């Protein structure tokens, strides 16, 4: 039974189905969560191990090397990076993207870490293994700032944290600039020496007298009583009264006799300032599948409540808010949908009768809402990438409807009834419509197989596109015929006064046919001209268009990074950064949104392998207003700031790093040098930097090698240690205790643990004779001067030691102006200039990474996907058309789409990017549809009895209207995103540009190329046929 006949006979049921789909989509539209990113596993595992007081070299030897040794045995680790710095070790393991069971790999990594047994005995915190996922990342930050005491600031931050945790959608709150509360027991070295006690004894007394222990149960006539022994401290006065030593005569020595006790906080290693004021930064982490806007509304309400409660000098600011990007893309999607819908209406109502146009137009929201319903059912959120897919496909939603509706319209013009035209018009093009949708699907399907971080990020784009195309196909084949017949069943004939009859009627089609006839008559000259033209564009493309993974357009954040001489204190660095803050603050209000200063650290994000932690480095994160609301681009703002900032004296380095939109891809230029000798690595790095500085577009050339602080290395005399009744461990512990202090005990206050830290006053850190004031208690309770058992040597260490695949590494990096060059061109030029050095130096291994490496991996994966897409498309074409040559001709039309993309990007002066390649994929699936529709009707005309050449001309003529209409509506649906008509999103524009130029030029060129190519193919058939006849005649 004919499907369309069945649908029309049961039109009431299928009209209800359409209503149900629309209602289900509307319900899903209000229920589907909105998020920043889809759940993405970054294939990165971090291992962090804190070890306070240890130098970078000690960390490398005692922690990093043992971990790397065990981890080498774990399979499926693609890359191993490590940082050994003062006070901590950090390993970043990149897993093989194609590994099947990631949980197994993470468990094996954890087991390998647990196998390490030779960690230092005084390592309090064991290594923490953490798998990095997108849903673990905060989606906004709250800066609590003001000119107030740090403890007051932290009290309000704690209150805000508690209120945020009361929000059901918040799982946790990360804090930066929040220093744990402590009681500082500052021991006077002269008093303890006079009293003949040591820091260890003070700490031991505090530990033993701060107790709260259960003692069992006691029973009496009233029942059971729990027995508990308590002696906990509650405040500084109680700590002062703790007895260190006493005698039988009633004399005793208390903590207060030898030390001052203050309520303070732990010593900061990083200072945070917002808008130049001390700040605590809170980062709420949301639950999975939580709507980001619902959460933001609740957070904003909480902030408003806190503002009313808090003192006027406190500022509660929402910064780095990712919901802005989601809202911007939602607006683009919303307005593109509305504007695209209106633009699509125009040609439909011009070319069709109002009722047929309405039936066709309903397909657009029906398919869209069906897609939303399916997405919600399968747990796909509305996020930055799924919206990317929806915007990409929005112009294709009515393509199938138009092909069917136009064919029904053609049959009506030939005198068929609405019943006959609807049934046979749908049936006639069903095969071609299914094939065109399948070719578009196969263009996107291989993107699901892309590997690496880029593959993970783009995966939802093809999923959403494929769901939408399937929804559109089902709507076109099942619902559209019912709508057209329902709206027109009472009409007897088709009116003839429409726009297409006057301006796109037979006279226009006949004129088009004359052009086709002329081109077919001069087909070989036409083919030669086509070849020359495409070759010229290809040459221009190769030499004039450079590839950038993610273009710099739309930058709304950059860093101002500074470095002072090694050994500069955190306080001096913080004070010096105020000069830079003052200059940043001079930016106009329509350009500067907010700024966040971090002193003691330099990093793009917590997983940045180029992270620097030292008291002599700092950065200011500058957040700009949206690009559409300011006159200057980020690069112009940076260059204007660079001039004024570089005038500040006292810095060793000042650099600017912009933050490109899109997934993390590393520095524009990064050269990783591997070796064991620091002097050789430094010398080689200078050569690389010298070459880089002379290349066009290069700025801010730096390396990540930092000579360490001056060290006083205490060499122990083992004989004297033994003679003094000491052990090496006791000596080392006493030295560490004297400078870093010792956590003697912990006081419970609500849900907080407040440490009691015993140490010398900070003034001793600035006293050159401090080492002479340190005494160590031996087994006979005598105090042994530290200098009696060791000697002091002065040396310089290394600030940070980086490893790549277990070898010491130094990385040279640079920023790049994409208007002048590309990462690929710069790196290849550098490779050429450094060729002899690389070849002749066997002690240093050179690895070119950063954006260049990411580009290579992404393009390799993309080319594989695109090649597979072409193969699948060819298979579908070969199964659809019986002509063995036609599939090759149809595939060749993709070349015209590429030519269109090349011309468009040349004219607009834009670099080709990864996002443009995604548009190119979509374009290839649409452009082949033109050839498929033409070939399908050429074959139909042959079957009607026309000679092959006339069939080519008539078949092409008959498809002019649907091809023009489908491509016109597709272009009109995408144009708003391309030119920013519905709101500008720089992340989407390259894709929209590729689609517009590729479809526009490719479809038009294919319309004229297909009959020429088919005629040439027919020539070959005729010659072959004649040859066979001659051969058989012989």
Res 739 pLDDT > 80: no
Q: What is the DSSP letter of 622?
A: E
Is pLDDT of 362 > 90? no
User: Tens digits of per-residue pLDDT, 716-735?
Assistant: 788 887 888 888 777 877 77
CB 718 within 8 A of CB 731: no
Residue 391 DSSP SS3 = helix
CB contact at 8 A, 591 and 624: yes
Q: Are 611 and 559 in contact (CB under 8 A)?
A: no
- DSSP category for residue 786: G
Q: What whole-number distance in Å separates Cα of residue 353 and Cα of residue 343?
A: 17
pLDDT at 756 over 80: yes
Q: What is the pLDDT of residue 983?
A: 65
Give the DSSP letter of residue 73.
Answer: T
Q: What pLDDT score does 502 carry? A: 60
Beta bridge partners of 340: none
Beta bridge partners of 671: 812, 848
Taking the C-alpha atoms of residue 113 and residue 105, their distance in angstroms, rounded to an integer, is 12
pLDDT at 499 over 60: no
Reduced to 3 states (helix: H, G, I; strand: E, B; else coil), residue 973 is: helix
- 888-899 pLDDT per residue, tens: 999 999 999 999
What pLDDT does 800 receive?
A: 83
Residue 22 structure tokens: 């629309």
Average pLDDT for 392-409:
83
Q: Are 795 and 714 in contact (CB under 8 A)?
A: no
Indicate the SS3 state at residue 625.
Answer: coil
586-634 residue pLDDT tens: 999 889 988 999 999 988 776 676 678 888 899 999 988 887 788 888 8
Highest mean pLDDT among 559-573, 607-621, 909-923: 559-573
Q: What would the 3-class secondary structure string for 857-872 be? A: HHHHHHHHHHHHHHHH
Categorize the per-residue pLDDT at 1033 as very low, low, confident or very high, splitting at 50, 70 and 90.
Answer: low
- Where is pLDDT greater, at 214 or 50? 50
766: pLDDT strictly greater than 80: no
The beta strands (E) that lie in 730-842 are given as: 742-749, 752-759, 775-777, 783-785, 790-798, 800-804, 807-816
User: Are residues 607 and 46 in contact, defined by beta-carbon separation less than 8 angstroms?
Assistant: yes
Percent of the chain with pLDDT over 70: 95
CB 709 within 8 A of CB 800: no
For the chain, list the domains and their CATH numbers: 1-36+323-490 (1.20.1640.10), 41-135 (3.30.70.1430), 181-212+225-265+709-798 (3.30.2090.10), 498-544+881-1034 (1.20.1640.10), 561-708+801-846 (3.30.70.1320)
Whether pLDDT at 65 is above 80: yes
Using CA atoms of 648, 652, 654, 657 in order, give the dihedral in degrees to the nearest 10: -170
Percent of the chain's residues with pLDDT above 90 = 18
Express each pLDDT in 442-492 by its tens digit.
888 888 877 766 777 788 888 999 999 999 999 999 998 988 888 877 665
624 - beta bridge partners? 592
Contacts of 35 by beta carbon, 8 Å cutoff, 6+ apart: 289, 290, 291, 292, 326, 381, 382, 383
Give 514-525 as a DSSP string: HHHHHHHHTHHH
Report CA dihedral (202, 208, 209, 213) to the nearest 10 degrees. 160
Identify the DSSP state of 672: E
Residue 910: which residues within 8 A CB-CB, separation 6 or more?
A: 551, 916, 990, 993
Nearest-CA neighbor of 150 among 181, 126, 119, 173?
181
CA within 13 Å, CB half, 107 = 4
Tell whether the model's pLDDT for residue 706 goes beyond 80. no
Taking only the tens place, the pLDDT of each residue in 204-217 is 888 888 887 777 77
- Confidence grade of residue 435 (pLDDT, cut at 50, 70, 90): confident
Q: What is the mean pLDDT of residues 653-682?
A: 80
* HSE, side-chain direction, 13 A CA sphere, residue 256: 9
User: Tokens 């200098």 identify what position?
Assistant: 787
pLDDT attached to residue 324: 81
Tell me if 461 sits within 8 A of 445, measured CB to CB.
Answer: no
Give the pLDDT band of residue 497 (cuts 50, 70, 90): very low
Contact in structure between 882 and 939 (CB atoms under 8 Å): yes
DSSP 883: -
291 vs 250 pLDDT, higher one = 291
Q: 695: which 2 tokens? A: 């290349």
Going from the C-alpha of 82 to that of each of 495, 663, 702, 904, the distances in angstroms are 76, 22, 19, 44
pLDDT in tens, 326-361: 887 788 777 777 887 787 788 878 777 788 888 888
Taking 50 as the threshold, does the pLDDT of residue 72 lie above it?
yes
95 compared with 223, residue with greater pLDDT: 95
Contact call for residues 520 and 949 (beta carbons, < 8 A): yes
pLDDT at 417 over 80: yes
* 482/419 Cα distance (integer angstroms): 10
Count other Cβ atoms within 10 Å, centred on residue 740. 14
Q: At 218, phi and psi to the nearest 5?
A: -130, 135
Token pair, residue 378, equals 């399968």
How far is the CA of 297 from the CAs of 301, 318, 323, in angstroms? 6, 12, 11
- What is the per-residue pLDDT across 944-977, written as a single tens digit (0 to 9) for each? 888 888 999 988 888 888 888 888 888 887 787 7
Mean pLDDT of the residues in the chain: 84
Q: Would the pLDDT of 494 be above 70?
A: no
Segment 114-122 mean pLDDT: 86
* Cα 453 to chain centroid, rounded: 9
d(CA 258, CA 788): 24
Rounded to whole angstroms, the Cα distance separating 96 from 75 reads 9
Q: How confident is the model over 296-320, as a mean pLDDT? A: 89
Half-sphere exposure of 173 toward its Cβ, with a 13 Å CA cutoff? 23
Angstrom distance (rounded) from CA 713 to CA 479 = 82
User: Is the pLDDT reported for residue 57 higher than 50?
Assistant: yes
Cα(487)–Cα(502) distance, integer angstroms: 24
Quote the pLDDT of residue 164: 92
Distance between CA atoms of residues 412 and 416, nearest Å: 5
Q: What is the CA radius of gyration of the chain?
A: 36
Please indicate whether residue 329 or residue 1017 has the higher confidence score (pLDDT).
1017
Of 779, 762, 788, the C-alpha closest to 187 is 762
Write the pLDDT tens digit of every residue in 823-853. 888 888 888 888 887 777 778 888 888 777 7
pTM of the predicted model as reported, rounded to 2 decimal places: 0.76
Number of H helices, E strands in the chain: 37, 32
Residue 32 and residue 602: Cα distance in Å, rounded? 38
Structure tokens belonging to residue 83: 């940082």
Exposed / middle / buried, residue 732 (Cβ in 10 Å: 0-12, 13-18, 19+): middle
- Listed ranges 302-306, 506-510, 972-976; the one with the highest mean pLDDT: 302-306
């Amino acid at each position: 039974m004919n499907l369309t006949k069945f649908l029309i006979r049961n039109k009431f049921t299928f009209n209800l189905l359409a209503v149900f789909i629309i209602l289900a989509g509307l319900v899903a539209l209000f229920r589907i969560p909105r998020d920043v990113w889809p759940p993405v596993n970054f294939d990165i595992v971090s291992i962090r191990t804190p070890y306070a007081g240890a130098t970078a070299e000690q960390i490398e030897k005692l922690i990093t090397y043992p971990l790397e040794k065990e981890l080498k045995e774990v399979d499926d680790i693609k890359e191993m990076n490590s940082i050994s710095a003062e006070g901590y070790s950090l390993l970043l393991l990149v897993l093989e993207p194609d590994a099947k069971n990631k949980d197994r790999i993470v468990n094996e990594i954890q087991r390998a870490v647990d196998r390490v047994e030779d960690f230092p005995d005084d390592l309090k915190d064991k290594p923490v293994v953490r798998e990095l996922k997108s849903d673990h990342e905060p989606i906004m930050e709250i800066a609590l700032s003001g000119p107030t005491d740090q403890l007051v600031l932290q009290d309000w931050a704690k209150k805000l944290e508690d209120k945020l945790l009361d929000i059901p959608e918040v799982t946790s709150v990360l804090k930066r600039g929040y220093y744990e509360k402590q009681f500082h027991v500052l021991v006077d070295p002269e008093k303890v020496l006079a009293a003949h006690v040591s820091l260890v004894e003070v700490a031991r007394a505090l530990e033993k007298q701060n107790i709260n222990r259960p003692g069992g149960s006691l029973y009496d006539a009233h029942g059971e009583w729990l027995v508990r022994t308590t002696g906990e401290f509650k405040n500084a006065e109680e700590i002062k009264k703790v007895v260190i030593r006493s005698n039988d005569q009633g004399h005793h020595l208390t903590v207060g006799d030898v030390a001052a006790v203050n309520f303070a906080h732990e010593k900061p290693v990083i200072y945070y300032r917002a808008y130049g004021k001390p700040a605590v930064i809170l980062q709420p982490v949301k639950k999975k599948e939580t709507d980001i806007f619902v959460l933001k509304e609740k957070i904003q309400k909480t902030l408003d409540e806190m503002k009313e409660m808090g003192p006027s000098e406190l500022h509660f600011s929402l910064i780095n808010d990712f919901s802005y990007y989601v809202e911007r893309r939602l607006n683009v999607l919303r307005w593109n949908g509305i504007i695209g819908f209106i633009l699509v209406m125009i040609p439909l109502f011009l070319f069709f009768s109002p009722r047929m146009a309405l039936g066709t137009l309903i397909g657009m929201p029906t398919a869209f809402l069906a897609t939303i319903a399916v997405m919600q059912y399968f747990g796909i959120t509305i996020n930055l990438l799924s919206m990317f897919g929806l915007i990409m496909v929005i112009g294709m939603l009515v393509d199938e409807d138009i092909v069917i509706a136009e064919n029904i319209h053609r049959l009506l013009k030939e005198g068929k009834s609405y019943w006959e035209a609807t049934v046979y018009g749908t049936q006639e093009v069903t095969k071609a419509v299914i094939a065109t949708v399948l070719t578009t699907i196969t263009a996107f399907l291989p993107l699901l197989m892309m590997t690496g971080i880029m593959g993970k990020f783009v995966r939802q784009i093809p999923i959403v596109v494929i769901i939408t195309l399937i929804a559109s196909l089902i709507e076109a084949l099942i619902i559209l015929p019912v709508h057209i017949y329902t709206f027109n069943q009472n009409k007897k004939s088709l009116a003839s006064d429409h726009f297409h009859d006057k301006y796109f009627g037979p006279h226009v089609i006949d004129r088009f046919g004359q052009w086709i006839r002329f081109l077919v008559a001069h087909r070989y000259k036409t083919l030669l001209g086509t070849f020359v033209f495409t070759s010229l564009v290809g040459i221009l493309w190769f030499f004039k268009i450079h590839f950038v993974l993610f273009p710099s357009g739309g930058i709304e954040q950059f860093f101002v990074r500074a470095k002072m001489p090694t050994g500069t204190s955190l306080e001096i660095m913080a004070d010096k950064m105020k000069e830079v803050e003052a200059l940043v603050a001079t930016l106009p209000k329509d350009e500067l949104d907010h700024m966040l200063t971090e002193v003691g650290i330099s990093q793009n994000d917590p997983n940045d392998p180029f992270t620097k932690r030292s008291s002599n480095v700092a950065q200011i994160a500058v957040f700009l207003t949206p690009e559409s609301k300011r006159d200057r681009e980020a690069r112009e703002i940076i260059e204007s700031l660079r001039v004024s900032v570089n005038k500040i004296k006292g810095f060793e380095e000042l650099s600017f790093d912009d933050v490109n939109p899109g997934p993390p891809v590393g520095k524009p230029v990064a050269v990783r040098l591997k070796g064991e000798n620091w002097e050789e690595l430094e010398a080689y790095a200078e050569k690389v930097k010298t070459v880089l500085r002379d290349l066009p577009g290069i700025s801010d050339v730096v390396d990540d090698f930092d000579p360490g602080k001056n060290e006083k290395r205490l060499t122990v005399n083992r004989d004297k240690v033994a003679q003094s009744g000491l052990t090496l461990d006791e000596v080392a512990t006493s030295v560490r205790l004297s400078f870093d202090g010792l956590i003697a005990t912990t006081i419970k206050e609500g849900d907080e643990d407040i440490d009691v830290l015993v140490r010398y006053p900070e003034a001793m850190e600035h006293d050159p004779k401090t080492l002479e004031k340190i005494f160590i208690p031996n087994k006979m309770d005598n105090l042994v001067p530290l200098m009696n058992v060791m000697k002091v040597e002065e040396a310089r260490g290394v600030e940070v030691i980086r490893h790549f695949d277990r070898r010491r590494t130094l990385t040279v990096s640079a920023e790049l102006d994409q208007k002048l060059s590309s990462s690929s061109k710069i790196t290849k030029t550098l490779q050429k200039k450094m060729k002899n050095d690389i070849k002749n130096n066997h002690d240093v291994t050179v690895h070119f990474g950063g954006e260049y490496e990411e580009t290579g991996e992404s393009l390799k994966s993309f080319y594989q996907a695109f090649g597979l897409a072409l193969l699948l498309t060819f298979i579908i074409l070969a199964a659809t058309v019986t002509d063995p040559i036609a599939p090759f001709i149809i595939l060749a039309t993709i070349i015209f789409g590429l030519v269109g993309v090349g011309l468009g990007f040349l004219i607009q002066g834009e670099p080709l990017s990864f996002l443009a390649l995604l548009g190119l994929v979509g374009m290839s699936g649409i452009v082949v549809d033109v050839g498929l529709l033409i070939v399908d009707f050429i074959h139909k005309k042959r079957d009607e009895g026309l000679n092959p050449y006339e069939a080519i001309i008539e078949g092409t003529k008959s498809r002019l209207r649907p091809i023009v209409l489908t491509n016109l509506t597709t272009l009109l649906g995408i144009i708003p995103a391309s030119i920013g008509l519905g709101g500008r999103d720089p992340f989407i524009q390259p894709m929209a540009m590729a689609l517009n130029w590729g479809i526009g030029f490719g479809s038009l060129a294919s319309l004229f190329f297909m009959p020429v190519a088919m005629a040439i193919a027919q020539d070959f058939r005729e010659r072959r046929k004649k040859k066979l006849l001659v051969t058989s005649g012989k």
